[in-house]
Amino acid sequence: MTRMFALVDCNNFYVSCERVFDPSLQDVPVVVLSNNDGCVIARSNEAKALGIRMGAPAFEHREIFEKHGVQVFSSNYSLYGDMSSRVMSSLNRIVPDMEVYSIDEAFLILDSLPQSPESFARDLREKILKWVGMPVSIGIGPTKTLAKIANRFAKKHLEHSGVLDLGSPGMRSTCLELTDVEDVWGIGRRYALLLKSYNVRNALQFSRQSRDWVQSRMTVEGVHILLELQGIPCHFLDRTPRPNKTIISSRSFGRCVETLQELQTALACYVTRAAQKLRHQGSVCSGVTVFVYTNRFRQDLPQHSPSGTANIMYPTDHTPTLIRHALNALEGIYRPGYSYKKAGVMLTRIEPRARKRPTFFQPGAGREKKEKKLMSAMDHINARWGRNTLQPAETLYAPGDWGIKREKLSPRYTTSWDELPVAS
């Protein structure tokens, strides 16, 4: 028996999260905006029908928003993260063999079911709706790529049932033929352009190309897509989340900033967040890359987007050390006279803390012990009393109004006692 993958994907995830706690949002157009209320990153079906594009700048649609009474929200990641864990743990209760693929998607292995995969998926869908209030679509296939295609098809064309099983070849070619090559998992805009120039327009046509033809144009990853479309699995279930190999923390500013002091303060904040993530996954790092960008949409202003890397002699997870290196790197790349719109930091050469080898440059054991104690105390206090209860002094150097804008934030219904929904 071939093993079947199911892909469960939450419908319009961020919008659905907002709807769970505010039923008046049902059946009306809703959008969720990115940080700084910049771009549209989630749309209800009603908003899609109004022609609002994914990733569109919010200001371009202000008129449509007003004219059609579109409900607009700033993104509320603590709410979405919490809703995501509820969906995932519910799925896990029913199907233990699963991979959490993203905040709103999970792959499941459907093995030895007491019923047909399709009716199992329908039940599953009903349960998630009932338990969490989250509408999902489910696609089934012998490979992850086919499950993805089935899911997309179900969401688009089978809204009522929300489930499609491509397990048997019957429907498969019809469905592949109706899937634009650009909508295949792993084929993006550039490859789609290339493929279309050879008259390969849909997934079925792509699946009939030769291995060599694909390999020479799209590397080995293209070959994996090809085989997966033919029903031969190349991607398997990744059950345990692996620690990140890079950790990025970056933000656009609410306004442009010019001074070194402001950039230093912002970067110290970003390093603080990144380092906390680093410790959370039990890692240390020895590379810190800092980058700053001017506003690329203001071509009338001088552009400058430098980056700089600091190499740390011994891997560490100590926030003050990482801040020191980041600020050194910043001084190396900063040029006055530019308006900066975005800055960020990337931690690289990450390795498990346990594997850390002693090196010649390592600080004495006593110092390392103190560093560890300090970080652990800071993490505990911030976990207990809120994220910025205790923070490095550098993050307070130039406080100001450069932070992000979130003007339409919904309450943190599920993660803050002060903002619980009230039943009246």
d(CA 92, CA 68): 39
Cα 216 to Cα 191: distance, rounded to the nearest angstrom: 12
In one-letter notation, the amino acid at residue 237 is: L
CB count in 10 Å sphere of residue 201? 15
189 interacts with DNA by CB under 7 A: yes
Of residues 215 through 254, those in contact with DNA by CB under 7 A are 219-221, 244-252
Q: Which is nearer to DNA, 409 or 420 (CB)?
A: 409
Cβ at position 122, least distance to DNA in Å = 23
Q: Do the Cβ atoms of 4 and 163 come closer than 8 Å?
A: no
- Token pair belonging to 348: 């690289």
Where on the phi/psi map is residue 420: left (φ > 0), alpha (ψ -120 to 50), or beta? beta
Question: Which pair of structure tokens corresponds to residue 275?
Answer: 């380092």
Shorter beta-carbon distance to DNA: residue 356 or 368: 356
Give Dmax (Cα) for the chain. 69
CB of 114 to DNA, least distance (A): 30
**Cα 215 from Cα 421, distance rounded (Å):** 54
In the complex, what is the shortest distance from the CB of residue 361 to DNA, in angstroms, rounded to a whole number?
16
Closer Cβ to DNA, 91 or 184, answer by number? 184
Helix or strand run (H / E) with residue 35: none
Residue 340 makes contact with DNA by CB under 7 A: no
CB of 246 to DNA, least distance (A): 4
Q: Are 180 and 201 in contact (CB under 8 A)?
A: yes
- For residues 275 to 314, the per-residue mask of contacts with DNA, x marking binding by CB under 7 A and - elsewhere, is --x-----------------x-xx----------x-----
> Can residue 105 be called a binding residue for DNA (CB under 7 A)?
yes
Joined together, the tokens standing for residue 147 give: 């499950």
Under the binding rule (CB under 7 A), the answer on residue 366 touching DNA is no
Residue type, 320: P
Q: Is 191 in the site for DNA (CB under 7 A)?
A: yes
Which member of 11, 21, 22, 35 binds DNA (CB under 7 A)? Answer: 35
Task: Tell me the sheet residues that pair with 84.
Answer: none
Closest approach of DNA to the CB of residue 287, in Å: 7
136-141 vs 98-102, strand pairing mode: unpaired
Least Cβ distance, residue 219 to DNA (angstroms): 4
Using the rule CB under 7 A, give the single segment among 109-117, 128-136, 137-145, 189-197 that binds DNA.
Answer: 189-197
Q: How far is the CB of 55 from DNA (least distance, A)?
A: 5
Residues that bind DNA (CB under 7 A): 34-36, 38-39, 41, 55, 57, 59, 101-105, 148, 184-192, 219-221, 244-252, 255-256, 273, 277, 295, 297-298, 309, 341-342, 344, 404
